[in-house]
Amino acid sequence: MKRINALTIAGTDPSGGAGIQADLKTFSALGAYGCSVITALVAQNTRGVQSVYRIEPDFVAAQLDSVFSDVRIDTTKIGMLAETDIVEAVAERLQRYQIQKRGTRHPLCWQKAATRCFHLRRLLRCAVDYCHRFH
């Protein structure tokens, strides 16, 4: 039986209850090999988000290049994308590597507590445009 390679593109959660850490645990529990691309470093705990440090879009793109050039990705989970330019960088790389043509679904979601930190209107407009490109 072929092992599934799953990629998560998201922010961190030092408490392990969300973000990259939770995604990788879930992948492992389901028997998938987990890869990750970090979009934001988040200081948070069970009480909420204290601070968000976004990763530069060029570095997010470089992480995606590293993964896609080496690992066959079967499914992708997209989590916290902190800024519009990060959404654009992720969308461009997914399109470049034709990830959507491999049957990958791209559920876009953001942590509820963190949305107040971002330019939500611009981010949502970009996400809607992105979804229309792939669906």
Mean pLDDT, residues 18-41: 95
- Kindly state whether residue 122 falls inside one of the protein's structural domains: yes
Structural domain harbouring 89: 5-130
- Kindly state whether residue 120 falls inside one of the protein's structural domains: yes
Pairing of strands 48-54, 33-45: antiparallel
Residue 1: is its pLDDT beyond 80? no
Pairing of strands 33-45, 5-11: parallel
CA neighbor of 21 nearest in space, from 111, 132, 124, 129: 111
**What average pLDDT is seen over the chain?**
81
CATH number, domain of 115, equals 3.40.1190.20
Residue 133: is its pLDDT beyond 50? yes
Give the model confidence (pLDDT) of 40-68 as tens digits. 999 999 998 899 999 999 999 999 999 99
Range scoring the smallest mean pLDDT among 42-56, 81-95, 121-135: 121-135
- Kindly state whether residue 92 falls inside one of the protein's structural domains: yes
Q: What separation in angstroms does the CA of 11 have from each of 14, 31, 85, 103, 135?
A: 10, 22, 15, 24, 24
Q: How many domains does the chain have?
A: 1
Indicate the Cα dihedral angle 38, 91, 83, 119, nearest 10°. Answer: -150
- Kindly state whether residue 73 falls inside one of the protein's structural domains: yes
Indicate the pLDDT class of residue 79, thresholds 50, 70 and 90. confident
- Kindly state whether residue 135 falls inside one of the protein's structural domains: no
Q: What separation in angstroms does the CA of 100 have from each of 51, 57, 129?
A: 32, 20, 15
What residues contact residue 47 under an 8 Å CB cut-off, 6+ apart?
A: none
Indicate the pLDDT class of residue 105, thresholds 50, 70 and 90. very low
